[in-house]
Amino acid sequence: MVIVFDSSTLILLAKKELLDVFLNNFDGIVAIPKVVREETCNKKTFDALLIEKRIEEEKIKVYEVEKKDLVKKLIEDFNLEDGEAEAIILCIEKGSKILATDDKNAINACKVLKELMELGRLMLAIRRYEEGKFSLGKAAKIARLSLSEFMDQLSKFGIKSRISYEDYLEGFENLKEIW
């Protein structure tokens, strides 16, 4: 299984110190297009140095996108940045159905293409929960997961220990509303 990351999602995982948790628990190939490497590793920040180190260790594979004409079309049609457009095309070229993005335009492009299962909804829900903008229950709803499934995803990213008792209660109250 191949998962392709765009810049913002990769940077988010690195900044939250969750990149290694993900890499150590994912059995497939983590891939990024060359432009995402350029976007994520162009500074001397913690996240940039961590991402570059994981690339050097070959825990993250970097690929050159071949279909540059399709990249240009995605940029024009969906108002995407280079990294998001190349990540989508890399998914297609690698036969992957998983794109880790939280970019609204990239998610919309995936919906139109119907070739990709976007992980963006989950990453967006996790990000908003971590920022305190979504409650646990709301984040689970946004991710379209049950509360327990969402909590399992949080634990994979090392977040479960930060869930408060109030979040648990509020999440279960939301479940009652669904049932």
Shared domain for 86 and 145, answered yes or no, is no
| Domain, as residue range, for 161 | 133-178
pLDDT, tens digit, 9 for 90 and up, residues 11-47: 988 988 889 988 988 888 999 999 999 999 999 999 9
The count of structural domains within the chain is 2
pLDDT, tens digit, 9 for 90 and up, residues 127-161: 778 778 888 888 888 777 777 777 777 776 666 54
- Do 135 and 171 touch, CB atoms closer than 8 A? yes
> What does the pLDDT average to over 38-62?
96
pTM score, two decimals?
0.69
Q: Strand 61-63's sheet: what is its strand order?
A: 61-63, 29-33, 2-5, 98-100, 117-118
Shared domain for 34 and 70, answered yes or no, is yes
Question: Average pLDDT over the chain, rounded to whole?
Answer: 82
What CATH number corresponds to the domain at position 12?
A: 3.40.50.1010
Query: Residue 123 falls within a domain, yes or no?
Result: no
Query: Residue 128 falls within a domain, yes or no?
Result: no
